[in-house]
Structure 1
Amino acid sequence: MKRSAFDIHTWKYDLWYDKNPAVYASELDAIRELMPSKIAHNSIEIGVGTGRFASELCITYGLDPSARMLKIAGSRKVECIKGVGESLPFKGSSMKLVLMVTSLCFMDAEKALEEAYRMLAPEGSLIVAFVERNSLLGQEYRKKASESSFYKNIGFHTTEEVLSMLKEHGFEDMHIRQTLFKPLDRIQDMEKPEKDFGKGSFAVIRARSIKHK
């Protein structure tokens, strides 16, 4: 069985956050602004990786296809499940919060959003955070994709594309934050997130699943 780049380069991936603390803090802060005031026990991050975000944001479950990533996430007190976002091993309407951080681009986005909607309870929240395709960082990642361990053959999305997909799959009540306004090597302190999109490289959207109970 062929191993993914995330299984091969697990520690390289995880150490990136230690080497870029201000970037990591900026991303966390932008997500926190859109988090529900109370985080229910039935919350999950899809594409949890090594648990950097789930552990800091008090997300209960973490799903990922990489066993090596999940081992580290588990050490950060995340309840880990091996699986993929396009086929979630949970009952419908079973989660109050679903989080995806820079993972949508690695999945079949339409199928993953369809599954997230299925799994969310009425009035549940989906938070999607991603590198904006047309941003400074998005352009840099696309330019270097052929040399990257992680970003070969993946599809980055624009904020407009993600908003459109969310609406198509039944989500409403969108709220947006953005951060990472400078090149990564120039971010030395945590940046304050701003509303809307178009300036920052890291976009965060919160949407609600409007269902009849």
Structure 2
Amino acid sequence: MSLFDLYYKDYEEWFEKHRKIYEEELKTVKTLLPRGRGMEVGVGSGRFATPLGIKFGIEPSHKMAEIARSRGIEVVETTAEKMDFEDEFDFILMVTTICFVKDPEKTISNCYRALKKGGYLLVAFVDLDSPLGRMYEKNKAKSKFYAPATFFTKNDIINLMKKAGFNDFECKENLYGDRLDSLKFGINDCNGGAFKVVKGKK
């Protein structure tokens, strides 16, 4: 049983408790979201796919997949490393998924393969090289969710994407500060914000 099967209720409650943060993250993703047929890798309970109009996703947690289906999303229960699509999607979104996958290189490579030529991958993550990211890293052993996570910097993500063949990068960010209860908000080009979205083209 996966971590998210055990704590799916806590996951859902986080979004209710931190609604403003969730809304700001959604807005940041929207600034770079392309048109066309999309897939979310690590769709979870559909908290991002549903408001963003993404109708298809993959998710290894059965409990989370069930909630996503109840929100109108078609879900295949598999991992990013095992997914098998080729030239099918105009864009792929991952939101705080890359820090949980066992093989980030294989994950990004599979995303590249699944995209149509000219398609886009958007990777949203908490940047290790930010005040909030450093706080998460320091305290992750105490967290139900982040204990097994590997946090990345913006350059780490771009280098992984370049290795898979992506180019033409854009980056937007939000969430400034090192405490969830006192964050400042604003969408900017990437510099010191915690929540970053890197977009690359196939």
Q: TM-score, normalised by structure 1?
A: 0.90
Question: Partner amino acid for 1:208?
Answer: K
| Aligned residue number for residue 143 of structure 2 | 148
Shift in Å, 1:129:
0.1
CA contact (8 A) 1:22 1:187 kept: no
Structure 2 Cα separation of the partners of residues 84 and 100 of structure 1? 12
Question: Partner amino acid for 1:21?
Answer: R
Structure 2 Cα separation of the partners of residues 206 and 127 of structure 1? 4
Structure 1 Cα separation of the partners of residues 19 and 183 of structure 2? 9
| Aligned residue number for residue 95 of structure 2 | 101
Shift in Å, 1:43:
1.2
| Aligned residue number for residue 32 of structure 1 | 30
Structure 1 Cα separation of the partners of residues 186 and 123 of structure 2? 18
Q: In structure 1, which of residues 130, 133, 137 is the aligned counterpart of residue 132 of structure 2?
A: 137
SS in 2 for 1:118: helix
Q: In structure 1, which of residues 81, 85, 100 is the aligned counterpart of residue 80 of structure 2?
A: 85
CA contact (8 A) 1:83 1:89 kept: no
1:54-203 to structure 2, matched below 5 A, reads 54-90=49-85, 92-107=86-101, 108-182=103-177, 183-187=179-183, 191-197=185-191, 199-203=192-196
Structure 2 Cα separation of the partners of residues 89 and 76 of structure 1? 24
Structure 2 Cα separation of the partners of residues 29 and 126 of structure 1? 17
Structure 1 unaligned regions, length at least 5: none
Question: Partner amino acid for 2:87?
Answer: S
Q: In structure 1, which of residues 187, 197, 206 is the aligned counterpart of residue 199 of structure 2?
A: 206
Shift in Å, 1:80:
1.0
Q: In structure 2, which of residues 18, 21, 27 is the aligned counterpart of residue 20 of structure 1?
A: 18
Q: CA RMSD in A?
A: 1.2
Shift in Å, 1:134:
2.0
Shift in Å, 1:151:
1.3
How many residues were matched structurally? 200
| Aligned residue number for residue 5 of structure 1 | 3
SS in 2 for 1:204: strand
Render the CA deviation track for 1:58-108: whole Å, top value 9, x for unaligned: 112111100000111111111111000012132x11111100000001111
Shift in Å, 1:109:
0.8
SS in 2 for 1:106: coil
RCO higher in structure (CA 8 A, sep ≥6): 1
Q: TM-score, normalised by structure 2?
A: 0.95
Structure 2 unaligned regions, length at least 5: none
SS in 2 for 1:14: helix
SS in 2 for 1:114: helix
Shift in Å, 1:21:
1.0
